[in-house]
């Protein structure tokens, strides 16, 4: 049985830089709203950042969230960003 609060994550793998940066901004805002300042800080300065920096931020964020199962929705959003990182030129 699923809750009415469950959200389906649409798998999008064709995000460009603007789309990726928009998702990261959304993740950062959601983290701040949830009081996860450390997670939000991992994505500070993401706009215009090199791919390697974004990859490191994503890996760090997923590692940080691994021990916090009550934030699966944020982890799923970060995983979506991770899937799109190869699109960065």
| Cα–Cα–Cα angle for 84, 67, 52, rounded to 5 degrees | 30
The confidence band for 2, taking pLDDT boundaries of 50, 70 and 90, is very low
Global confidence as pTM? 0.85
Q: Where are the domains of the chain?
A: 17-87
pLDDT at 82 (0 to 100): 96
Residue range 38-89, pLDDT digits in tens:
999 999 999 999 999 999 999 999 999 999 999 999 999 999 999 999 998 7
Sign of the CA dihedral 61, 10, 47, 14?
positive
């Amino acid at each position: 049985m699923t809750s009415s609060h469950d959200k389906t994550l649409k798998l999008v793998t064709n995000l460009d830089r603007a789309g990726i940066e928009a998702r990261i901004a959304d993740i950062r805002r959601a983290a701040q709203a949830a009081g996860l300042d450390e997670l939000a800080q991992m994505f500070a300065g993401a706009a215009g950042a090199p791919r390697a920096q974004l990859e490191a931020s994503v890996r760090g964020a997923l590692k940080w969230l691994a021990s916090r199962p009550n934030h699966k929705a944020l982890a799923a959003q970060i995983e979506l960003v991770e899937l799109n990182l190869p699109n960065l030129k």
